[in-house]
């Protein structure tokens, strides 16, 4: 009988199961050598509807709101010296009031007399300086506003030349005709606006230059001013940095006009009376009260029977 030989079955080698490579998460990019060592992704931040968006623009160092003292200290131009002098006079007057009030060497009547005399003196100076300061500031603002409007070379918005004045009047009549025809011909939302006509003619005058272009520019600005149109909307895109600077200076000058005060603080003493207001001097002072004596009704002009002279 043949011998039985035991056979050893060899099983095929099984390779270990390999999991599919997972897509690396954003946080795993922080691993060394990935190039993102300094970046950590932690998910989207919670939306805040009240937070202002961050910008990369440089933040201006100029405060949005300046104090009265800061504006006056940094102000330059016409009328500023008079403005400062007005405030100095009023400050000195207030200091005089305080000094008199705290000085115990003088009587109240004397303090009142000195305070009111100083008040009248300061008031006269302020009423003279304040209007002068405001007038100079307004003239400066108007001049700066003219400088902020581009004009052709060797031309200006103000002229006394007769020929230029005639050309300006002719251009004004022509522009008024263009505006009137545009209003009559086109109707509805697609009609040409008068301000657009003036802006187009203003640009043409700048490009043309010379006396004719200067006349067109002057006529355009005159019509915009008389009709109440926004001049900045017509000329702003043609402005250069020095024009914008002149406009900012003009706006600052007009703002300073409103800050020049004419009021003068009155003394803390009543005229002709003591400072505390409780005492009065003189027979007819306001603090004295009339003495009322009760009388019987009809006793003032009571009829009396007189004795006849022959009795």
Q: How far apart are CA 192 and CA 186, in angstroms?
A: 7
Task: Provide the pLDDT confidence category of residue 36 given band limits of 50, 70 and 90.
Answer: very low
Task: Provide the pLDDT confidence category of residue 19 given band limits of 50, 70 and 90.
Answer: low
Q: What is the pLDDT of residue 205?
A: 94
Q: Which residue has the higher pLDDT, 298 or 144?
A: 144
DSSP code string of 127-195: HHHHHHHHHHHHHHHHHHHHHTS---TT--S----HHHHHHHHHHHHHHHHHHHHHHHH--STTSPPHH
Domain locations along the chain: 67-148+241-272, 162-238
Could you tell me what percent of the chain has a pLDDT over 90?
50
Contact 103, 110 (CB under 8 A): no
The first and second tokens of residue 206, run together, are 């700048």
Q: What is the pLDDT of residue 59?
A: 40
Say yes or no to pLDDT of 103 above 50: yes
pLDDT digits 0-9 by tens, 131-183: 999 999 999 999 999 999 999 998 999 999 999 999 999 999 999 999 888 88
> The tokens 């043609």 sit on which residue?
238
Mean pLDDT of 82-104: 92
The most distant pair of C-alpha atoms in the chain lies apart, rounded to whole Å, by 208
Q: In whole angstroms, what separates CA 161 from the centre of its chain? A: 37
Q: What is the pLDDT of residue 223?
A: 94
Whether this model's pTM surpasses 0.85: no
Mean pLDDT of 257-261: 92
Task: Provide the pLDDT confidence category of residue 271 given band limits of 50, 70 and 90.
Answer: confident
Q: In whole angstroms, what separates CA 256 from the centre of its chain? A: 9
Say yes or no to pLDDT of 42 above 50: no
Q: Which of 2-11, 26-35, 64-73, 208-217 has the highest mean pLDDT?
A: 208-217
Q: Residue 136 half-sphere exposure, CB side, CA atoms within 13 Å?
A: 15
Q: How far apart are CA 265 and CA 276, in angstroms?
A: 18
Mean pLDDT of 244-263: 92
Q: How far apart are CA 235 and CA 218, in angstroms?
A: 12
Say yes or no to pLDDT of 7 above 80: no
Supply the mean pLDDT for the chain.
Answer: 77
Q: What is the pLDDT of residue 184?
A: 82
Task: Provide the pLDDT confidence category of residue 269 given band limits of 50, 70 and 90.
Answer: confident
Q: How far apart are CA 176 and CA 194, in angstroms?
A: 9
pLDDT digits 0-9 by tens, 193-213: 889 999 999 999 999 999 999
Helices (H), the chain: 68-74, 80-102, 108-147, 162-185, 194-208, 210-227, 231-235, 241-257
Q: What is the pLDDT of residue 104?
A: 87
């Amino acid at each position: 009988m043949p011998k039985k030989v035991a056979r050893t079955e060899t099983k095929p080698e099984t390779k270990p199961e390999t999991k599919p490579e997972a897509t690396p998460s954003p946080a795993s990019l922080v691993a060394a050598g990935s190039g993102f060592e300094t970046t950590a992704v932690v998910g989207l931040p919670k939306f805040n509807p009240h937070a202002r968006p961050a910008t990369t623009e440089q933040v201006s160092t100029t405060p949005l709101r300046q104090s009265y003292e800061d504006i006056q200290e940094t102000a330059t131009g016409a009328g500023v010296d008079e403005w400062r002098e007005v405030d100095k006079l009023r400050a000195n007057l207030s200091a005089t009031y305080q000094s008199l009030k705290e000085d115990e060497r003088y009587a109240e009547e004397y303090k009142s007399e000195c305070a009111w005399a100083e008040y009248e003196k300061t008031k006269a100076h302020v009423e003279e300086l304040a209007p002068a300061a405001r007038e100079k500031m307004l003239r400066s603002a108007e001049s700066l506003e003219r400088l902020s409007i581009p004009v052709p070379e060797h031309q200006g918005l103000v002229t006394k030349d007769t020929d230029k004045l005639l050309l300006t009047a002719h251009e004004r009549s022509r522009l008024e005709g263009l505006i009137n025809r545009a209003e009559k011909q086109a109707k509805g939302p697609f009609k040409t606006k008068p301000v657009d006509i003036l802006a187009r003619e203003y640009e043409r005058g700048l490009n043309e230059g010379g006396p004719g272009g200067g006349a067109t520019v002057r006529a355009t600005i005159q019509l915009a001013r008389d009709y109440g149109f926004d001049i900045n909307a017509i000329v702003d895109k043609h402005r250069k940095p020095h024009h914008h600077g002149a406009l900012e200076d003009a706006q600052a000058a007009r703002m300073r006009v409103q800050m020049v005060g004419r009021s003068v603080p009155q003394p803390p003493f009543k005229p002709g009376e003591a400072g505390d207001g409780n005492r009065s001097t003189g027979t007819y002072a306001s603090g004295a009260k009339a003495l009322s004596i009760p009388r019987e009704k009809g006793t003032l002009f009571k009829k009396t029977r007189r004795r006849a002279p022959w009795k």
